[in-house]
Amino acid sequence: MLTRHLALATALIFCAATLVAQQAPDRTRPPQPGAPPSLALPAIQKQQLSNGLPVWIVESHEVPVAQVNLVVLSGTGDDPAGKFGVGSLAAAMLEEGAAARSSLEIADAIDFLGADLDVTSGSDSSAVRLHVPVARLGDALPIMADVALRPTFPSAELERLRAERLTNILQARDDPATINATAYARVLYGPTHRYGTSGAGTAATLRSISTDDLRAFYAAAFQPRNAALIVVGDVTPARVLPLLEASFGRWTTSAPAPAPARLPNAPQHLSFNQMLDDFMEKAQNTTVRSRFARWSAVRFEDGAAVRVEL
């Protein structure tokens, strides 16, 4: 009986090995791609408030939360010459005081609702973003509207943010990633193009920015005709539009429509090596060249320099 069982086990192992060998993948040619997966994009429902502010709504009912973004089509690329960093600083100041609330009171009110509110600024746009449980959407939207529409730009908060950003500039000298990005943008766009300087500005421009500069940038950029509301989440137009109308429908401005930023043409580099040579010539520092790396320096406003590998 034992011999019979051993024979059967051997036969099973042999059959299994044979099947595995027969099913081995064919590695003589690459596998053929399968059918492309289907992509079902949610519908965008485009609406408008009574003041002309566009509203784009995407329904997503899996989770009872909503994301509301007020997108303004102006950013650091619209900074005036000599005031680089004013757009980024103006956006950051929106949360530092609005209507009757201080920065701490805004934070406490948002935390109490289990929500999250922040303001961002990029090269070509700025945004006030609210993430909130839909059950508290009606309570959170007025706070968001205060931040976006009624900032107070308190001087004490401006000085605090200014000091923080000047400290960040000093710390950036020890951060290779920041040095890399700074050098790359300066080489690619040049010193006069807005994209050639950090969105946060320089130490010199940050020191020159006043609350009047912030108010002027805000008044020119934050207008209903230069913005849109994007709403995504467990909402329907019938429910969310009245809430948005109550908070943003009376937003008007007498300022002229913002003109598109007129940025100078970026330098045209014929090759990567020419771009590096141009940077090294302007840096006026000793350069070490090798087959794989070129070393030069980025000089900061106060004369301090760091060596950069490009």
CATH placement of domain 45-248: 3.30.830.10
- The token pair at 39 is 């992509």
The answer to whether residues 163 and 155 touch, using CB atoms and an 8 Å cutoff, is no
- The token pair at 14 is 């042999």
Q: Which residues pair with 307 in a beta bridge?
A: 297
Distance CA 52, CA 40 (A): 30
Q: What is the pTM of this model?
A: 0.77
Write out the residue limits of the CATH 3.30.830.10 domain(s) in the chain.
45-248
Distance CA 95, CA 150 (A): 10
* pLDDT per position as a tens digit, 115-165: 999 999 999 999 999 999 999 999 999 999 999 999 999 999 999 999 999
* pLDDT per position as a tens digit, 192-243: 888 988 999 999 999 999 999 999 999 999 999 999 999 999 999 999 999 9
Distance of CA 151 to the CA centre of its chain: 21
Pairing of strands 227-233, 65-72: antiparallel
- The token pair at 100 is 């009757």
Grade residue 183 by pLDDT with cuts at 50, 70 and 90.
confident
The pLDDT value given to residue 306: 44
The answer to whether residues 72 and 258 touch, using CB atoms and an 8 Å cutoff, is no
Q: From residue 307, give the alpha-carbon distance in Å to each of 236, 282, 299.
A: 55, 14, 9
